Structure 1
Amino acid sequence: MTARQRLHQLVDQLPEPEAARVLRAVEHWRDDPVALALASAPFDDEPETDEERAAVEHARDEVRRGDVLSAEEVWGER
């Protein structure tokens, strides 16, 4: 089965409200050059460095401790 045939099969199984949402998403993807570029971009397979892994773990630790700012605080909208 081709991807197009499988897509048709899946779409045919969607309830109408879900089909409408999928339609809007696909039209957006088709009509937005940035969305299309992102969807077409190759997977980033560059290996993560030890420094990057440490930075991510540090950020996760901050979140676990609650040491974060709200969006309002970041944008100064208190």
Structure 2
Amino acid sequence: MTAKEQLRHRIEAFSEEGAVEALRLPDLRNDPVVAAFRDAPLDDEPFTEEDEAALGEARADVAAGRTVPLDEAMRELE
């Protein structure tokens, strides 16, 4: 079975929702923001003890409910 035949077969199995999502994929290939992330170099900086401590604090804040909703944070930044 050719690649196009395989693709046709898979498309026929999509739900309507899946087809809508699939239609977006080719557009993403040309999106400059997606390209910037795709082409960015890997972050090879090591994860430090300081990073680990900050992550632990953030997780504790979330667990304790010490968070700010995004819309509220955005209003504060205006």
The Cα of 1:38 is off from its aligned counterpart by: 0.7
The Cα of 1:11 is off from its aligned counterpart by: 7.0
| 3-state DSSP of counterpart to 2:61 | helix
Matches for 1:21-60 after TM superposition, within 5 Å? 21-27=21-27, 29-60=28-59
Q: Once structures 1 and 2 are overlaid, which stretch shifts more, 45-54 or 56-65?
A: 45-54
What is the identity percentage for the equivalent residue pairs of Structure 1 and Structure 2? 37
Give me the whole-angstrom Cα distance separating, in 2, the residues matched to 1:64 and 1:23.
38
Question: Which is greater in Rg?
Answer: 2
Give me the whole-angstrom Cα distance separating, in 2, the residues matched to 1:11 and 1:41.
33
| 3-state DSSP of counterpart to 1:42 | coil
Give me the whole-angstrom Cα distance separating, in 1, the residues matched to 2:8 and 2:36.
24
The alignment's TM-score, normalised by the length of structure 1, stands at: 0.66
The Cα of 1:73 is off from its aligned counterpart by: 2.5
The root-mean-square deviation of aligned C-alpha atoms, in Å, is: 2.6
Q: Report how many residues are paired.
A: 70
The alignment's TM-score, normalised by the length of structure 2, stands at: 0.66
